[in-house]
Chains A and B, each alone.
Chain A
Amino acid sequence: MPSLSQPFTITPIPRQSTPSPIFISSHGLVPNTNELDIAISRYSISKFLVHPTPKLVHSTAIPSNQIITAFNNDVYGSSQSKHSNFLHLNQDTKIAVPCPVVNCMPVKDKNDIVNTTVILKDGTIQRYKDIVLESTKKIPYSDIIMAEYIDERYVVIISPSIVTVYDLNTITELRSKNNITVEDSSFKLFKGKLYKYNEKTFTFEIYDVTTLNLLHTVTIPFIEENTKSVTYAVVGEFRVVLTVNNLAYLLDLHLGSVITTITFKHLKWFKLLTGVDASFVLGISCTSNSGELKLEIVNVELGSCNLKDSLGKSFKNFVKNSDEQDKSTKPMSLLSLIPSSKAESPRSFDYAAILKKLNENAQNKDKFDAIFFKDLMIEEDCYTEKDRFIINQRFLSDVLDLILKNFKFNDSGDYPKALAFLLTHPLFPIQKTKGLLATFKEEPTLYKQTIVTCPNLPLEELLTELFSIKNDELSLDISLRILEDYTTDAIKESLKRLPKVDIENYIEFVIVSDSDKEVKRSADITKQLLELLSLIIDSVGLFALEGKLLESLTVFINEKTRIAERNTDLWYLVEHKTTDFASSHSTNNSTGTSVQKKKKLPAYTVEYLDL
Chain B
Amino acid sequence: MSAIAQKYQMSVVSGGRPVLPRGGKSVCTVTHDGQALVVPFSNQLRVYSLETRQCIKTVKFANSAVLSQIFPAARVADIVMGDATGAVTGPAAEKLLTLFTDLGHAIVLNYKGKLTETPAVHAIPVDTKLGERVEKVFVSGESLRVLIAGANDYKLAQLAFNTDKVVLTEPVVFPGAMLTAWSGDEQVFAALCRDPAAGNQKQVRVQSVHSSAISTAIPLEKVIPNATTAPNTSSKNARFVSALAIDNSGTQLALGFASGVITIVNVADLQSRLLKWHIDAVLALAFTDDGAYLLSGGWEKVMLFWQLASNTQQFLPRLNGIVVDIQPRGKYYTLALQLAENESSADYQIVVLNAADLTSRVQISGPMPVFNDQTRSAAQPVSALKSNTQINISKKKHRRKLVKATRQDFTTIIEQNPQTKQLYIPHMSALQTFDFYKNEQSALQFMTDGMNNAMGKVRDELNIRDPEIKNIKVTRDGNWLVSYEVEYPPEDLMSSGDLCHVLKFWTRQEDQSQWTLRTKVLNPHGKGTPITNIMVAPVSVANGGAGCITADNNGGMKYWAFDTAEKNWCLKKLLIPNFTNYSNSVSLAWSRDGSLIFHGFDDKLQIIDFDNFKQVSVPGSPDDSDVSMPGEFTVDSEIQAVKLVGEKNLVIATKTTLSVIDLLLGKITRGFDLYPYVNGMYKNSHLDRLISCDEKNEKLALVINEQVADTADYKAHILVFNGDLSKVLDRFTHDEYISWIGWNHDTDFIFVDIQSRFGVVGTTVNTEMVDDSNREDVMEGILDGAAAAAETSGETAHSSSESYLEKLRELSRKKNGVANTTVANGAAANGTQDEDAMDIEQEIIAGNHKDDHGINMNSFSNMFENIQNVPMETLFDSVMKALS
A residues with CB within 8 A of B: 150-151, 153-154, 165, 167, 169-170, 172-175, 191-193, 208-211, 213, 215-216, 237-238, 254-258, 260-263, 304-308, 310-318, 327-328, 331-334, 337-338, 340-344, 346, 385, 388-389, 391, 426-427, 455-456, 483-484, 487-489, 528, 531, 575, 579, 598-599, 601-602, 604-605, 607, 609-611
Contact between chains at B816 and A170 (CB < 8 Å): yes
Contact between chains at B596 and A311 (CB < 8 Å): yes
Contact between chains at B580 and A388 (CB < 8 Å): no
Q: Does B717 contact A (CB under 8 A)?
A: yes
Q: Does B616 contact A (CB under 8 A)?
A: yes
Q: Which residues of chain B are within 8 angstroms of A328 by Cβ–Cβ distance?
A: 659, 667-671
Contacting A165 at CB < 8 Å: which of B555, B709, B717, B808?
Answer: B808
The 17 listed contacts between A and B (C-beta, < 8 Å) are: A153-B812, A167-B812, A167-B816, A174-B815, A192-B808, A263-B623, A307-B591, A307-B648, A311-B596, A312-B618, A331-B671, A338-B717, A340-B677, A340-B706, A385-B675, A388-B673, A391-B671
Q: Which residues of chain A are within 8 angstroms of B804 by Cβ–Cβ distance?
A: 191-193, 208-210
Q: Which residue of B lies closest to A151 (CB)?
A: B805
Cα separation A258 to B241 with both chains bound (whole Å): 78
Q: A174-B812, A311-B616, A343-B677 are in contact. Are A598 and B492 (CB under 8 A)?
A: yes
Give the size range of B's interface with the partner: 35 or more
Q: Which residues of chain B are within 8 angstroms of A609 by Cβ–Cβ distance?
A: 276-277
Tell me which residues from 831 to 849 in chain B have a Cβ below 8 Å from any Cβ of chain A. Answer: 846, 848
Q: Which residue of A lies closest to B819 (CB)?
A: A172
Q: Which residue of A lies closest to B620 (CB)?
A: A312
Q: Which residues of chain B are within 8 angstroms of A343 by Cβ–Cβ distance?
A: 673, 676-677
Contact between chains at A208 and B797 (CB < 8 Å): yes
Contact between chains at B673 and A601 (CB < 8 Å): no
Chain B 634-662 near chain A by CB (<8 Å), digits 1 or 0: 11110000000001100000001101001
Contact between chains at A331 and B673 (CB < 8 Å): yes
Q: Which residue of A lies closest to B815 (CB)?
A: A172
Q: Which residue of A lies closest to B804 (CB)?
A: A192
Cα separation A193 to B802 with both chains bound (whole Å): 11
Q: Which residue of B lies closest to A211 (CB)?
A: B846
Contacting B815 at CB < 8 Å: which of A167, A327, A388, A455?
Answer: A167
Contacting B670 at CB < 8 Å: which of A313, A327, A488, A599?
Answer: A327
Chain B nearest CB from A334 CB (Å) reads 6
Q: Does B665 contact A (CB under 8 A)?
A: yes
Q: Which residues of chain B are within 8 angstroms of A338 by Cβ–Cβ distance?
A: 677, 704, 706, 717, 719, 731
Cα separation A590 to B503 with both chains bound (whole Å): 43
Q: Does B776 contact A (CB under 8 A)?
A: no
Cα separation A131 to B178 with both chains bound (whole Å): 108
Cα separation A175 to B168 with both chains bound (whole Å): 80
Q: A167-B812, A334-B719 are in contact. Are A317 and B679 (CB under 8 A)?
A: no
Q: Which residues of chain A are within 8 angstroms of B629 by Cβ–Cβ distance?
A: 311-312
Contact between chains at B493 and A313 (CB < 8 Å): no
Contacting B664 at CB < 8 Å: which of A150, A256, A528, A598?
Answer: A256
Cα separation A173 to B803 with both chains bound (whole Å): 20
Cα separation A172 to B679 with both chains bound (whole Å): 66
Contact between chains at A426 and B623 (CB < 8 Å): no
Cα separation A311 to B618 with both chains bound (whole Å): 7
Q: Which residues of chain B are within 8 angstroms of A255 by Cβ–Cβ distance?
A: 647-648, 664
Q: Does B311 contact A (CB under 8 A)?
A: yes
Q: Does B162 contact A (CB under 8 A)?
A: no
Cα separation A484 to B602 with both chains bound (whole Å): 10
Q: Which residues of chain B are within 8 angstroms of A262 by Cβ–Cβ distance?
A: 622-623
Contacting B808 at CB < 8 Å: which of A209, A308, A346, A602?
Answer: A209
Contacting B555 at CB < 8 Å: which of A426, A427, A487, A611?
Answer: A487
Q: Which residues of chain B are within 8 angstroms of A307 by Cβ–Cβ distance?
A: 591-593, 595-596, 647-648, 663
Chain B nearest CB from A393 CB (Å) reads 10
Contact between chains at A170 and B616 (CB < 8 Å): no
Contact between chains at B621 and A215 (CB < 8 Å): no
Chain B 473-513 near chain A by CB (<8 Å), digits 1 or 0: 00000000000000000101110000000000000000000
Contact between chains at A306 and B591 (CB < 8 Å): yes
Contact between chains at A192 and B578 (CB < 8 Å): no
Contact between chains at A170 and B812 (CB < 8 Å): yes
Q: A167-B815, A174-B811, A211-B846 are in contact. Are A313 and B664 (CB under 8 A)?
A: yes
Q: A191-B804, A313-B664 are in contact. Are A170 and B819 (CB under 8 A)?
A: yes
Cα separation A317 to B679 with both chains bound (whole Å): 35
Interchain residue pairs A-B with the least CB separation, the first 5: A192-B804, A312-B629, A314-B664, A312-B666, A343-B676
Q: Which residues of chain B are within 8 angstroms of A305 by Cβ–Cβ distance?
A: 593
Q: Which residues of chain B are within 8 angstroms of A237 by Cβ–Cβ distance?
A: 798, 801
Q: A328-B671, A427-B636 are in contact. Are A210 and B846 (CB under 8 A)?
A: yes
Q: Which residues of chain B are within 8 angstroms of A528 by Cβ–Cβ distance?
A: 580
Query: Max chain B CB contacts within 10 Å: which of A255, A262, A314, A346?
Result: A314
Chain A nearest CB from B647 CB (Å) reads 6
Contact between chains at B460 and A605 (CB < 8 Å): yes
Q: Which residues of chain A are within 8 angstroms of B673 by Cβ–Cβ distance?
A: 331-334, 343, 346, 388-389
Q: Does B607 contact A (CB under 8 A)?
A: yes
Chain B nearest CB from A549 CB (Å) reads 24
Chain B nearest CB from A281 CB (Å) reads 18
Q: Does B807 contact A (CB under 8 A)?
A: yes
Contact between chains at A426 and B637 (CB < 8 Å): yes
Cα separation A602 to B491 with both chains bound (whole Å): 12
Chain A nearest CB from B227 CB (Å) reads 16
Contact between chains at A488 and B578 (CB < 8 Å): yes
Contacting A215 at CB < 8 Å: which of B623, B798, B811?
Answer: B798
Q: Which residues of chain A are within 8 angstroms of B634 by Cβ–Cβ distance?
A: 426, 455-456
Contact between chains at B276 and A337 (CB < 8 Å): no
Q: Which residues of chain B are within 8 angstroms of A598 by Cβ–Cβ distance?
A: 492-494
Q: Which residues of chain A are within 8 angstroms of B581 by Cβ–Cβ distance?
A: 483-484
Q: A213-B848, A307-B591 are in contact. Are A611 and B819 (CB under 8 A)?
A: no
Q: Does B308 contact A (CB under 8 A)?
A: no
Q: Which residue of B lies closest to A214 (CB)?
A: B3
Contact between chains at B580 and A488 (CB < 8 Å): yes
Q: A150-B808, A311-B616, A344-B676 are in contact. Are A191 and B668 (CB under 8 A)?
A: no
Q: A311-B663, A327-B669, A611-B311 are in contact. Are A318 and B627 (CB under 8 A)?
A: yes
Contact between chains at B731 and A304 (CB < 8 Å): no
Q: Which residues of chain A are within 8 angstroms of B636 by Cβ–Cβ distance?
A: 388, 426-427
Chain A nearest CB from B597 CB (Å) reads 10
Q: Besides the contacts A314-B664, A338-B706, what 10 more A-B pairs have beta carbons closer than 8 Å?
A: A167-B815, A174-B812, A258-B627, A307-B647, A307-B648, A310-B664, A314-B666, A332-B670, A388-B656, A605-B460
Chain A nearest CB from B156 CB (Å) reads 36
Contact between chains at B808 and A151 (CB < 8 Å): yes
Cα separation A340 to B706 with both chains bound (whole Å): 8
Contact between chains at A311 and B676 (CB < 8 Å): no
Chain B nearest CB from A538 CB (Å) reads 13
Cα separation A262 to B490 with both chains bound (whole Å): 66
Tell me which residues from 775 to 815 in chain B have a Cβ below 8 Å from any Cβ of chain A. Answer: 794, 797-798, 801-805, 807-808, 811-812, 815
Cα separation A167 to B647 with both chains bound (whole Å): 36
Contact between chains at A210 and B671 (CB < 8 Å): no
Cα separation A174 to B811 with both chains bound (whole Å): 7
Chain B nearest CB from A145 CB (Å) reads 21
Q: Does B21 contact A (CB under 8 A)?
A: no
Chain B 661-700 near chain A by CB (<8 Å), digits 1 or 0: 0111111111111111101000000000000000000000
Contact between chains at A311 and B798 (CB < 8 Å): no
Q: Which residues of chain B are within 8 angstroms of A258 by Cβ–Cβ distance?
A: 621, 627
Cα separation A210 to B848 with both chains bound (whole Å): 11
Cα separation A256 to B667 with both chains bound (whole Å): 16
Q: Does B611 contact A (CB under 8 A)?
A: yes
Q: Does B394 contact A (CB under 8 A)?
A: no
Chain B 259-278 near chain A by CB (<8 Å), digits 1 or 0: 00000000000000011110
Q: A262-B623, A331-B657 are in contact. Are A317 and B666 (CB under 8 A)?
A: yes
Contact between chains at B596 and A318 (CB < 8 Å): no
Query: Max chain A CB contacts within 10 Å: which of B580, B595, B670, B731?
Result: B580
